[in-house]
Chains A and B, each alone.
Chain A
Amino acid sequence: MNVAILGKSQVNDLLEKKLSEEGFTPCRVECLEDITGFSGERLDYIVRTTGQTVKVGHVIVTEEPVCEKPFSNHYRVTVGNEPVVFILDYPSESPAHYTVDALENAIKLARRRKQVFYLSRFMRTAGYQTENLYKEARNAGVTFIKYLSLEIACDTETGLYRIMADDGYDALKLESTAVIKPESSTASEKMDRIARLLRLKCNEDSSVNDDRSFLFPTLTSRNGIYFIHSSTITAETELQDRIAFTISEMKERTGHGLADAAAGKEAKGIEIDAGKCAFCYTCFRACPHSAMAPDYENSVMKNLGNGCQTCGICVSVCPADAVKMKAEKPVDGVKAPNALKILCCENSGKAAAQMLKHELAGLFERIETVPVSCGGEISVETITADLKHYGKVLVLTCMDDACKHFEGNKRAARFVEKTKALLAASGLDEKRVECMKLSHAMPMALRDQILEMMG
């Protein structure tokens, strides 16, 4: 199968070699004119470049974004004994390369016996390099503050910043001229064009979001399209890991549907009501496993057997209520109006809830636990339907970045927020539904949540 490598990069040689070794036919595209097609059953992309048109199954983008090391130019200017303050004011995770750069510079300064503060609104939890860098920075004496609110006033004459960071418990006041914030980085025009043509999600600073999850480092928001950038990779082994991961994903995604159709296999977990399907492509766009494909003959979507991991995301997003899970959910507990229904992701919440059954045996008489494949399976409609029969509903999903189905946990959290808003608008108690992100090893946190909800 052909694989397009888009862009100029130093990783191209190694990537090309590895792809050839694994039986793929790589073709380099440095000057992209257009690209069309879709992922799904056929994984077909038509890549048009100056002078040629190539049909490929997968696209690996290696074009390097233009991103300066935003912090490196600043730290040398700091003088005297005043503290050095790094500010990463991002509402969600800061871009990986910013975080790495900020941490590296914070470590350097702290080792020079500078007092270093690292203020961030959202703590980047995990990722390549960052775990070790956090550890190193803490050992070097960097003070980390995760704030809820931040006020900065700058005296333009002296260049002195007065900073007040509040983490909800304490307010920290700092005065310094050495305040280091990232300048906005701009993706190159070429990258921008690739992102637009491929309809890829971009970050706030318009760089392509190539940091989907630390578990799936090279996947993008579209199936069959991968990113391998050397700018965020320092060790050779990481690059090799990413290439190996990408190739294994490509192999897994190649020919799912075709192989199944040839074997006469039916889709396993999902059924689609052809009468209701509006052929709107919502499930196709949302499916994280390339397991939905258009059936043009019948003007409906179809589910592809092997590709489908029955995560249920298609079920929750379908606006026509046309997609259903085939299997009945095992129900555990007693249905009652004063009861709590816990919808547990089978990868995290289910195990955590199981561990509490003995300890909270009395309470579990009023708790019904229902395992779901992924938090992404749960929709506003299912939660509101449950609230008709249960006093409260608790949704348990995986931690950020740990969702096996990429963003099912985030979707569940958004749907819970939407449900809360509907309840509030309807004059009902919005605390009747809660969402908790946890790992299987967090039964104690779950116990606190259950006790709070059960009064």
Chain B
Amino acid sequence: MIVAEQKPLEEISKSLEGFENIVIAACGTCVTVCMAGGEKEALKLASVLELNRAEQAVPVKVKVVTPKRQCDVEFLDDMAEEFGGADVILSMGCGAGVQFMAERFRGKLVLPGINTKFIGVAREIGVWTEMCQGCGACILEKTGGVCPVARCSKSNFNGPCGGSMDGKCEIDPNVDCGWQLIYDRLKELDRVEKLYEIVEPKDWRSSRDGGPRSVEKKEMRLDTDI
């Protein structure tokens, strides 16, 4: 799941200064689950913005809409009417949602309400951690199901660096050393010998380094002859 965090209120308020008709577009999937941009967060934000404007005696109308997802255009089509009178749309979707909204509603200013952080998991209610960096070439089979790209601060491929201490990473005592986790896991599975296999330097073109990426599944396309 994509994990995000709401932008500081000051930043949001500032970006909305001067706009009277505001539509906050929550998103009903990933950012709802990670409690950053779901309907509840949007309603909360709407109330605080209204309180703030009332205090300053500046008029405002805030409406909240929640498409199931902002990353599929049909859900956005359903919202078109709601955005009619809006001076600005504050998208609480991830970066993809904000951009897709901006593409779909070209005449409208679409602003971001959250910061998109990472692909991760819910550890418990209110705690999410990064698990995947979307590097485009998964090597989890070599590392006991623990990703060295996302979970080692240096993305090392052949063991820990000198900053690993008592199972923790030198960047923060609360961050586990990814390579300690890999070693522990492989030991648990009785596959420590996997660590003797040297992983060759990674071709990072499959990751962000190769520029903006796309995936095409030709057999699924409607207008393409295979």
Whether A associates with B in a native complex is yes
**CB <8 Å contact, B47 and A425:** no
A373-416 contacts to B, CB under 8 A, are 379-381, 384-385, 387-388
CB pair A387–B8 under 8 Å, yes or no, is no
Q: Counting CB contacts under 8 A, is B87 at the interface?
A: no
Query: Is A317 interfacial (CB-CB < 8 Å)?
Result: yes
Q: Are B124 and A425 in contact (CB under 8 A)?
A: no
**Interface window among B34-42, B138-146, B169-177, B195-203:** B34-42
Number of A residues near B (Cβ < 8 Å) is: 27
B79 within 8 Å of A (CB atoms): no
User: Scoring B residues 23 to 65 as 1 if CB is less than 8 Å from chain A, else 0, what string do you get?
Assistant: 0000011001101001111011001111110110000000000
A111 at the interface (CB under 8 A from B): no
For B39, B40, B54, B124, the residue with the greatest tally of chain A CB atoms inside 10 Å of its CB is B40
- The interface residues of chain A lying within 8 Å CB-to-CB of B47 are 381, 384-385, 387-388
Which listed residue, A276, A384, A425, touches B44 by the CB 8 Å rule?
A: A384
Q: Tell yes or no: A260 within 8 A of B by CB.
A: no
Contact code string A312-327 (vs B, CB < 8 Å = 1, else 0): 0000011111100000
Interface hit among A72-80, A236-244, A279-287, A447-455: A279-287
Instruction: Contact check, B40 vs A320: say whether CB atoms are below 8 A apart.
Output: yes
Nearest-CB residue, chain A, relative to B49: A426
Query: Does A135 have its Cβ within 8 Å of any Cβ on chain B?
Result: no
Q: Do A319 and B9 contact each other (CB < 8 Å), given the known contacts A388-B50, A422-B48?
A: no
Residues of A within 8 A of B51 (CB): 384, 387-388, 423, 426, 428
CB distance from A222 to the nearest CB of B (A): 11
Partner of A427, one of B29, B39, B52, B124: B52
Would you call A286 and B44 a contact (CB within 8 A)? no
Q: How far is the CA of A89 from the CA of B151 in the complex (A)?
A: 34
The residue on B at minimum CB distance from A281 is B122
Q: Mark A85-100, 1 if CB is under 8 A from B, else 0.
A: 0000000000000000
Chain A interface helix/strand/loop/mixed: loop
B170 vs chain A, min Cβ distance (A) = 22
A380, A388, A426 — most chain B CB neighbours (10 Å): A426
Is the CB of A112 closer than 8 A to any CB of chain B?
A: no
Instruction: Report the Cα distance A318→B33, complex, angstroms.
Output: 9
CB-CB under 8 A from B41, the residues of chain A are 319
The answer to the question of B125 belonging to the interface, with a C-beta cut-off of 8 Å to chain A, is yes
Question: In the complex, what residue of chain B is closest to A280 when comparing beta carbons?
Answer: B33
Task: Check B124–A379 contact: CB distance below 8 A.
Answer: no
Chain B positions within 8 Å of A280 at CB level? 32-33, 122
Q: In the bound complex, how far is the Cα of B9 from the Cα of A423, in angstroms?
A: 9
> Is B13 among interface residues, defined by CB-CB distance under 8 A?
yes
A199: Cβ under 8 A from any B Cβ: yes
Residue pair B125, A285 in contact (C-beta under 8 Å):
yes
Compute how far the CA of A320 lies from the CA of B40 in the bound complex, rounded to whole angstroms: 6
* A280, A282, A285, A319: residue with the most chain B Cβ atoms closer than 10 Å: A319
A-contacting residues, B111-132, CB 8 Å = 122, 124-125
Binary CB contact string for chain A from 418 to 450 against chain B (1 if under 8 A, 0 otherwise): 000011011110000000000000000000000
Beta-carbon contact of B43 and A319 below 8 Å: no
Q: Does B70 contact A (CB under 8 A)?
A: no
A425 and B55 CA atoms in complex are apart in Å by: 13
Looking at the complex, which one of B35, B48, B50, B52 makes contact with A319 (CB distance below 8 Å)? B35
Q: How far is the CB of A306 from chain B (nearest CB, A)?
A: 24
* Chain A residue nearest to B31 in the complex (CB): A319
> What residues of chain B lie closer than 8 Å to A322, measured between beta carbons?
39
Residues of B within 8 A of A428 (CB): 51-52, 55
Q: 1/0 per position for A276-302, CB-CB distance to B under 8 A?
A: 101011100110000000000000000
Bound CA span A198–B175, Å: 22
C-alpha spacing A282/B8, complex, angstroms:
24
Residue B91 lies at the interface, judged by CB distance under 8 Å to chain A: no
Q: Contact partner of B43 among A281, A321, A425, A427, CB < 8 A?
A: A321
Contact A320 B48 (CB under 8 A): no
Interface membership of B10, Cβ < 8 A: yes
Q: List A contacts of B66 (CB < 8 A).
A: 276, 320
A385 with B38: in contact, given A285-B124, A426-B52 (CB under 8 Å)? Answer: no
Q: Which of A278, A379, A384, A425 contacts B33 (CB 8 A)?
A: A278
Q: Are A425 and B28 in contact (CB under 8 A)?
A: no
Q: Which chain A positions have C-beta within 8 A of B122?
A: 280-281
Tell me the bound Cα distance from A69 to B35 in angstroms. Answer: 42
Report chain A residues within 8 Å CB of B39: 276, 319-322
Residue ID in chain A nearest B125 by CB atoms: A285
Contact partners of B13 in chain A: CB under 8 A: 426
Q: Are A381 and B50 in contact (CB under 8 A)?
A: no
The docked-state distance in angstroms from the alpha carbon of A280 to that of B128 is 13
- Which residues of B line the A interface, CB within 8 A? 8-10, 13, 28-29, 32-33, 35, 38-41, 43-44, 47-52, 54-55, 66, 122, 124-125
Return 13 A-B CB contacts under 8 Å, by A number: A278-B33, A280-B33, A282-B35, A285-B125, A319-B33, A319-B40, A384-B44, A385-B47, A387-B47, A422-B44, A426-B13, A426-B52, A427-B52
Q: A320-B66, A379-B40, A388-B47 are in contact. List 16 more A-B contacts (CB 8 A).
A: A199-B124, A276-B28, A276-B39, A278-B29, A280-B33, A281-B122, A282-B33, A286-B125, A319-B35, A319-B39, A320-B28, A381-B43, A388-B54, A423-B48, A425-B10, A426-B49
Residues on A lying within 8 angstroms of B by beta carbon are 199, 276, 278, 280-282, 285-286, 317-322, 379-381, 384-385, 387-388, 422-423, 425-428
Which 8 interchain pairs have the tightest Cβ spacing?
Answer: A384-B47, A280-B33, A321-B39, A319-B38, A425-B9, A381-B44, A426-B52, A319-B35
